[in-house]
Amino acid sequence: MEKKEFVKKPKWLQLRVQGDGNTANVKNLIRTLNLHTVCHEANCPNRMECFARRTATFMILGRNCTRNCTFCNVTRNKPDTVDLQEPENVAKAVKTLQLKHAVITSVTRDDLPDQGANQFAEVVRQIRKYNPDTTIELLIPDMSGKEELLDIILETKPDVLNHNVETVPELYSKVRPAANFLRSIKVLDYSKKKGLKTKSGIMVGFGETEEQVVNVFSALRKADCDMLTVGQYLQPTKLHIPVTEYVTPEQFEKYREIALKMGFKRVNSGPLVRSSYHAEPI
């Protein structure tokens, strides 16, 4: 079997993330309430900055996913039982942390009849009950494109509806084999037509071309998507799809300028940008 060679990380990505007292307090609270955050699960390099800005991203519906995206570090095991106490616990955590903006995401739950839509909706209701001034962003799976499931979520009127396309359509079979690019665009288009502010994100470094990336921007703008994030793919383990290229900061800035000219209201583009980075609503 041919051994895969690793592309060495450039200096702009060789950062050491150090903890502080605030980070430890957040970890303890999350553990006490039996919750999960993407910030810690993914060891996000931006987490201390986000905590300082009083934002955090909670991952609901367990830690095990029903899909097999080759870039993602979330495990693909037997899905967890839905925790009916989770929505209130998320709301309590938001209150304790005094978050100005809460981002809620989840693993994909194709095994559930509602694919987790009602859990998303209940989380929104509980956050608003405990934290009426906190803005809410939902980063949702595609719900198999089923409008009746999307409606359950959209009727709660989150401040931002986020759904990531993740990569260019030409690489979906390699990167997101169980997903569909056009279905993701339709999710964003449907959400926008329901009157919500919409957002999407793409990772680069899989071997895509600049033209392909800009074509994704164009498809998102045709769906009237408001906000965009562009970040560098980083291989979580040797078992995941390898990095083909480390995109330069200059190229990320070029992507930002192109996207703004195309009409996005906000664009965060950089090597360490993640979907919930500087996630406050426009």
> For 29, left (φ over 0), alpha (ψ -120 to 50), or beta?
alpha
- 39 assigned ligand-binding residue: yes
Are residues 140 and 97 in contact, defined by beta-carbon separation less than 8 angstroms? no
Are residues 90 and 99 in contact, defined by beta-carbon separation less than 8 angstroms? no
Distances 86 to 30, 57, 209, 253, 280 between C-alpha atoms, Å: 11, 14, 41, 39, 23
DSSP state of 202: E
Are residues 87 and 125 in contact, defined by beta-carbon separation less than 8 angstroms? yes
- 225 assigned ligand-binding residue: no
Distance, CA of 91 to CA of 99 (rounded, Å):
10
Alpha helices, DSSP H, located in 155-239? 172-175, 181-193, 210-222
- 44 assigned ligand-binding residue: yes
Are residues 204 and 230 in contact, defined by beta-carbon separation less than 8 angstroms? yes
For the chain, counts of helices (H) and of strands (E): 10, 7
Q: Which tokens sit at 63?
A: 């830690």
Tokens 């830690």: give the residue.
63
DSSP state of 112: S
Pick out the residues of the known binding site: 39, 44, 50, 65, 69, 72, 276
Pick out the residues of the known binding site for [4Fe-4S] cluster: 39, 44, 50, 65, 69, 72, 276
